[in-house]
Structure 1
Amino acid sequence: MNGRARVAWNLRRIRAEKQITQEALAVDAGVDRTTISGIERAEFNPSLDLLDRLCAALSVDLAELLVVPAAHEGVPPLPLKAGRKPKR
């Protein structure tokens, strides 16, 4: 798994675990929602500054985005249900 795919996998995993929508993360990080979507699909190559902002918005260390997924994590995290989410 290359670095871009690893960041994509971990960003989606962390965001899903914290029950944060792409839109909410985008607002907290000061980017457009399509940027988050592009990163999670490994189509967008984020800068270190953007990764720092995403980590701050998610309250995780940058290293969390670079962790190699365990072998049992072969299936990507399920998307959140559609619709509005309760305020955090």
Structure 2
Amino acid sequence: MDGRARLAWNVRHLRALRGLSQEALEVDAGVAAPYLSGIERRVVNPTVDVLDRLAGALGVEVDVLLRAYDSHSTPPQPLKAGRKPRQPVRRDVG
């Protein structure tokens, strides 16, 4: 298994576990949307600096992004499409 495949799997898996959309992760990590999508599709070769930012945003060490995964595991499931519903604004009258 190549490094890009490991990275793509682990980023997507960790993002799904944390319930983060690509949009949320790109904002948290300071990575452009097409770039993050390219990482998850294995077409981009990110720098160490980008790996540092992704790891920080996902709350893991960089080595976790490159660890081998069980090849018999099911791929991370996509999150539900669309935005989360807004929470009602509470206004305390006082």
Q: TM-score, normalised by structure 2?
A: 0.85
1:33-78 Cα deviation digits (max 9, x unpaired): 11111100001111000000001111111111111111431x3111
User: Who is 1:48 aligned against?
Assistant: 48
Q: Offset of 1:29 from its aligned partner?
A: 0.9
- The structure with the greater share of residues assigned to helix is 1
User: Who is 1:23 aligned against?
Assistant: 23
The 1:86–1:15 alpha-carbon spacing in structure 2 relative to 1, beyond 3 Å, is: farther
Alignment of 1:1-88 (within 5 A): 1-73=1-73, 75-85=74-84
Task: Write the distance in 1 (CA, Å) between the matches of 2:2 and 2:83.
Answer: 33
Unaligned runs of 5+ in 1: none
Task: Write the distance in 2 (CA, Å) between the matches of 1:58 and 1:7.
Answer: 13
Task: Write the distance in 2 (CA, Å) between the matches of 1:17 and 1:31.
Answer: 19
CA RMSD of aligned residues (A): 1.5
Unaligned runs of 5+ in 2: 87-94
Q: Offset of 1:85 from its aligned partner?
A: 3.2
Q: Number of paired residues?
A: 86
Q: TM-score, normalised by structure 1?
A: 0.90
1:10-36 Cα deviation digits (max 9, x unpaired): 000000011000000000111211111
Residue identity in the other structure for 1:40: E
